[in-house]
Structure 1
Amino acid sequence: MNLFGQLLESYIEHKGWHDLEGSRVTQIDNVSIYRSSTGNQRQPFTYQSGIIMLSQGKKNIHLGDRPVTYAANDYLVVGVPIPLECEAIPLDGKPLLGLSIRIEPQRLHRLVKKLEEQGVVEHYGHKPNQDSSGLQATTMDQSMLDSVVRLVKTLHNDVEATILGDALVSEIVYRALTGPEGRVLFDLAHHDGHYARIAKALSKLHQDYDQIITVQSLAEEANMSLSAFHNAFRKVTFESPLQYLKKVRLNKAKELIQIEGLRINDAARLVGYSSPSQFSREFKRHFNVPPRAV
């Protein structure tokens, strides 16, 4: 087991989270830990924006017909929430373990501004107007790994986590900004770029998914023509706007049924479906099981 994985196991032991399955927030704001002893077969899932790191196990994610694999000491930079299909695989009899960091807009803009003031953006090859697309796994270099290890060590001590945690999160975001996939975060910080405009439209979509949403209204939110919006949206999310909206609604409905115990018709209505039969058909097509089976 690598040091990153050892420290996460030690942290779980320290917190007494022996039954942890799934994600749980830590005492450092915007930092969550993930553990799964069994993994899961390929199934629909939504990756939230941020930096996602694995210390044990392997994940295969599928964006349409494009597979991406990441494993121990790899990380992903996710600029916007992306519906995808994910297969999680424990290895060597050990649970999957990982860490995720949500990137606050204020933190991102502050770091990007400082980098630009230092004149190093071109050095890292991250042009602000460069189109961003794709979701790539990146192996942590020694600097990123050292930063992550220090963060997990700090989680073991509540006083240190309170005093040092925020600075360590900024350090890791800085490492991601200056890493191979940092262009995603640079483009997100520049409101005039296509990536940032799509992010703005996605924010509206995730907030108002239960309302009547048209592609035209999303294009207006992004301040783009309809054709340019379609092209940029697909490049960022690998989905058409309507496909993306459907997946957001169905994933939310599954949460309402499975976690909150809502009746199927109530969940359908709350996510924006007026026809229960249409909801059931699309739910089964998306998850391969009817709503009553979740």
Structure 2
Amino acid sequence: MSEWFEKQRRELLQIIEKSTPEDGIHDTQVHGLRFIRASQLSEPVYSVYEPSLCIVAQGSKAVMLGQEVYQYNPSSYLTASIDLPITGQVIEASRETPYLSLQILFDMNQILDVIQLSGKTIQARGEVSRGLKVSRMKDMLMDAVLRLVKLVEAPEDIPLLVPSTIREVIYRIIQNESNTSLTQFAVTGSHAQRIAKVVEKLNRDFAQPLRVAELAAEARMSSSSLYHYFKEVTGMSPIQFQKHLRLQEARRLLFSRSIDAAEVAFQVGYESPSHFSREYARMFGLPPVQDVHRLRCSLIDEMMENS
């Protein structure tokens, strides 16, 4: 990294550090901008990534999508261009040098706005690419991101400057990624846009029975084409994707509420509690009750360490 880039990174680091007095996710006054701090290596965290830009100012993180691992650090960044169930893990952090990062959420309307304002014409293509991508950080993107982050310390400027700065951030991403990772979902009638609608439906109706033929008909594809393009975008088959969504929601319900595992199984769409328990253990390493007990004990231990 150049001396200029390192200076920008340190400035970014200082603002995030000042804004995150404790570990966790911290929303800011800039809509869609959040800071993340972790003072130790983390256990795998299961969540659904929204369309966003993720940048690490210090430390390193690994994200797993299906069987693929994406690792990024201050010299790179990650973009998620569609809602995807992932497993994230901080792999470089300590109390002395905590993991510090930011996430900027955006939506397809913002991307379409940037494409229109830039005068670019995006042609529909037959091929699709992953909805998750790690790219090398570029100076112009870092500059735009830093100017956005600085607005956290100038709240009176937020209403006027945030919209244009967000547009510039998206524009720099599109430039860096050769108009593929994000813009493929903005092309009307493209395979990627059809898959995006299928992903949206699965995220919304994950507890309902999955009928590939119906999904394919809605996407105006054959079942084999749907399977192919869906896996190209998400790294998973539709059934695997649905399973991740169901099990992540089940874990959230079990951890946040006093609710029976069998009841949770039915809520997220499983007909057999025993089948649910087997798949849960296969994904999280322990059966539901034992896993939630472990999570709660880990949380208590962490709270005691920080007290």
Normalized against structure 1, the TM-score is what?
A: 0.87
Q: CA deviation at 1:245?
A: 0.4
Gaps of 5+ in 1: 13-17
- Aligned position for 1:95: 98
SS in structure 1 of the partner of residue 128 of structure 2: coil
The yes-or-no answer on 1:48 pairing with 2:44 is no
Instruction: Among all aligned residue pairs of Structure 1 and Structure 2, give the percentage whose two residues are the same amino acid.
Output: 28
SS in structure 1 opposite 2:176? coil
After TM superposition, the structure 1 = structure 2 runs for residues 1-294 of structure 1, keeping only pairs within 5 Å, are 2-12=10-20, 18-21=21-24, 23-42=25-44, 44-91=46-93, 93-115=96-118, 117=119, 119=120, 128-129=124-125, 131-134=127-130, 135-180=132-177, 182-292=179-289, 293-294=291-292
Q: Could you tell me which runs of 5 or more consecutive residues in structure 2 were left unpaired when the two chains were aligned.
A: 1-8, 293-307
In structure 2, what is the Cα distance between the partners aligned to 1:174 and 1:130? 23
Look up the SS of the partner of 1:138 in the other structure: strand
Q: Distance in 2 between matches of 1:148 and 1:49?
A: 16
Compute the displacement of 1:127 (Å).
Answer: 5.1
Per-residue CA shift, 1:232-268, capped at 9, x if unaligned? 0111111111011001100111111113443322322
Matched residue of 2:265: which SS?
helix
Q: Assess if the C-alpha contact under 8 Å between 2:23 and 2:38 holds in 1.
A: yes
Runs of 4+ in 1 over 4 A off after TM superposition: 42-45
Query: 1-side partners of 2:30 and 2:75: how far apart?
Result: 21
2:87 maps to a residue whose letter is E
The one-letter code of the counterpart of 1:80 is I
Alignment TM-score, normalising by the size of structure 2: 0.84
Question: Which secondary structure state, in structure 1, belongs to the residue aligned with residue 106 of structure 2?
Answer: coil
RMSD of aligned Cα (Å) = 2.1
* Greater Cα shift, 272-281 or 128-137: 128-137
Pair 179,212 (structure 1): closer, same or farther in 2 beyond 3 Å: same
Matched residues in 1 for 2:31 and 2:219: separation?
A: 29
Query: Retained in 2: the 8 A contact 1:136–1:181?
Result: no
What is the distance in 2 between the residues matched to 1:6 and 1:131? Answer: 41
